[in-house]
Structures are given as C-alpha cells and as structure tokens.
Structure 1
Amino acid sequence: MAADESGALVTGRLLTEDVDVHAVVDPGAPTGLLIKERRTAALRRVLLYCRDASTGSRLRPADLPGGLVEAADILYVTGITLALSADAAVTVHAAVGRAATSSTTVCLDVDHRSRPWTAEKTELALGEAPPGTVTR
C-alpha cells in the first residue's frame, strides 16, 4: 500500500466493507491509478494508466504474511497483478503455491488489459495456473 492519500482512501473503503486489510506500506511508490472515460454504455477508453512503479508493481513474496494465505477460505488474485512486474508475478505465484498446499481455493480474475499484457505474457502467466483454480 502506498503512503499517500489514494492508498488511505482505498484502505479506508475496504475497512468500511468489513474486509480484513493486511498491507505493507511502501512510502517509495504511489498507488496505481487508472482513469477511464465511458463514451457510451458499451464503449469505454482508458484516459490515464499509471501503474508502472506503483506499489502493486513492487510486491515481493516477503510481503505475504505467514499463515494468512493458508488460513483463508479463498485467495483472490488478478491478472493485472501478474502483468505489473516480474516481482509482482512471482509474489502471486508464491501465494497460489501456498494456497495449493492448504485447503484454500484460488480464484483467478483474468482481468485482461491489453496495455500491460502481450499475448505471450498472458499465455505464460495464465498457463501456469494450478489445477482447480477458479477463473472468471
């Protein structure tokens, strides 16, 4: 989580929805930002995409608290995190690996975005999902 107002806003919103938040504060990186324009009900376009060097791109396996993944009923991961950086992808795979050794169900939200993904990167990242992973 970034040590900025956006990070505080996101964390505050999650807490109001009764979500347990376990976050490592990274004062050296901003919260990622994506601004979209809805042109019509069916047509949207991205106006601003600022996720490079964001806190999410700086995730490391050491950021995963011990026992948290294993104690969860569901681990929810997104394709966006896989696409942000090599370190973030390694972290997602570490979390999924920990879930696979416990009874934690893994839910993968592909959330494909053409900007950070190449076709090759998508195939490599998603081709590694463990058997039994739920995708949407």
Structure 2
Amino acid sequence: MRFMVIVKATADSEAGVMPSEELLAAMGRYNEELAEAGVMRAGEGLQPSAKGVRVKFSGDQRSVTEGPFSETKELIAGFWIFQVASLQACIEWVKRCPNPMPGESEIEIRQIFEAEDFGAEFTPELREQEARIRARIDSED
C-alpha cells in the first residue's frame, strides 16, 4: 500500500523560516532509515504558499489566485510517499519521525489510490495507458 504522508504548514514554515541544522540532520537520518527499509518512495519540502498559486476550475473557466494563502492549518509544508503493508505500519513509521517543525506540528496520512480501487470503470485500455505513463515516469528518474 502506498501512502502520502503530509507535513502540515505552520506560521514559521509559511514565513520561510528554514529548519535548523539539527533538524536537517535528524530528518536526514530518518530519511536514510526509511530508504534502507524500502519504505520511502519520494519526499520533499515545499516552498511557502507565498510562492505558489491556486488554479480554480468552474466548468470550462479557469482562474488563478496567487499566494500567500491565509489558512495555514490547511497548507502543506512537505510530503513523503511511503510504501508499506498497512495504514498501521505507516502510522508507526510516522511516529518515529523527528518533529518536523519547532513546537507543535501535525502530519496527515492519506492512502494513495491503486488501479484496482477504481473497479470496472478503469478499463483495460485505461490500465494500459496508466502503465505506459508510469513506465515513462520511471525511466526519467
């Protein structure tokens, strides 16, 4: 099972406060442990929302809103993609994570859809297309 592990933003991360050397070292050790265990598939920190945009869809219309965005608790400061046997295994790995922000912080875990989750609507042709896309992405790494 794959999970997106989402590090929620804080006022500090949105203000562009960079992590300390101590936190970077602790996260590096944690990421090494994840990689050695075959759990981590990806992981990155994100720039503050002030450097981002949102594209809103309404029918055929598109509108772009530039950051920053006001609801810090709804923003993402970083993420990992984990591949583990279960949600409980993912939780156990996340509980081992160094606190990603000074003070209080929160990490959200969301399971990633797999092809079999979509049922009959995900036709053989669509599955083949998905396989081609994944192969192309994997070859670019």
TM normalised by structure 1 equals: 0.20
Q: Which has the higher strand share?
A: 2
The structure, 1 or 2, with the larger RCO (C-alpha pairs under 8 Å, 6+ apart) is: 2
Structure with larger Rg: 2
